[in-house]
């Protein structure tokens, strides 16, 4: 079992996997509403309606895994983006591999805090890994994702410990 230390989550480091949702990642800031609002514009683009899909907003309440974080499988949604935005300032871990044929040697881990992520369609990712305490995340994805989910299971020799 190899071990990965999470990297800092930056738009550049994460570009192959998706977008970082954070005011610090904004490429365009508009002043609107007679000066009362700054719009950090289009931090992420949604693609949720392929094959008649419908975009929905949900909340995921994530319980931290007990003990060390060990990655045994990843999943992907080939038809749609999926965004996670933390509703607290608690840190969490994002584990991903690039879209396309699954390659366990290309798994990366990022440590996020006060930042959301929007996975590109097809990005392999672990389910949401809250740290410390039960944490809520706003999720923007596609209705009926049970028909839009592939799973890649790692051989035990390829399991990855995050830490």
Instruction: Give, as ranges, the residues between 40 and 99 that touch its own copies (CB under 8 A).
Output: 40-49, 54-63, 65, 83, 85, 87
Name the nearest CA neighbour of 110 among 15, 1, 2.
15
Q: Which of residues 103-162 bind its own copies (CB under 8 A)?
A: 116, 118, 127-128, 136, 138-140, 143
Among residues 3 and 30, whose Cβ is nearest to its own copies? Answer: 30
Which residue's CB is nearer to its own copies, number 1 or number 87? 87
Structure tokens at 154: 């790692």
User: How would you label 49-78 residue by residue, b for 16+ Cβ within 10 Å and e otherwise?
Assistant: eeeebeeeeeeeebebeeeebebeebbbbe
Nearer to its own copies, 58 or 161 (CB): 58
- Taking alpha carbons only, the member of 16, 58, 21, 18 closest to residue 42 is 21
Q: Minimum distance between the CB of residue 120 and its own copies, rounded to whole angstroms? A: 14
How far is 122 from 100, CA to CA, in rounded Å? 7
Binding positions for its own copies, rule: CB under 8 A? 21-23, 26, 32-33, 35-49, 54-63, 65, 83, 85, 87, 116, 118, 127-128, 136, 138-140, 143
């Amino acid at each position: 079992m190899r071990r990965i230390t999470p990297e800092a989550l930056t738009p550049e480091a994460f570009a192959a996997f998706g977008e970082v949702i954070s005011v610090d990642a904004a490429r365009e800031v508009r002043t609107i509403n007679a000066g009362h609002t700054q719009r950090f514009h289009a931090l992420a683009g949604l693609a949720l309606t392929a094959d008649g899909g419908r975009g929905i907003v949900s909340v995921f309440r994530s319980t931290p895994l007990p003990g060390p974080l060990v990655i045994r499988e990843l999943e992907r949604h080939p038809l749609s983006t999926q965004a996670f935005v933390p509703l607290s300032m608690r840190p969490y871990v994002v584990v991903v591999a690039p879209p396309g044929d699954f390659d366990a040697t290309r798994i990366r881990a990022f440590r996020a805090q006060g930042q959301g992520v929007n996975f590109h369609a097809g990005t392999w990712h672990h389910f949401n890994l809250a740290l410390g305490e039960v944490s809520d995340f706003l999720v923007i994805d596609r209705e009926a994702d049970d028909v839009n989910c592939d799973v890649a299971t790692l051989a035990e020799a390829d399991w990855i410990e995050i830490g």
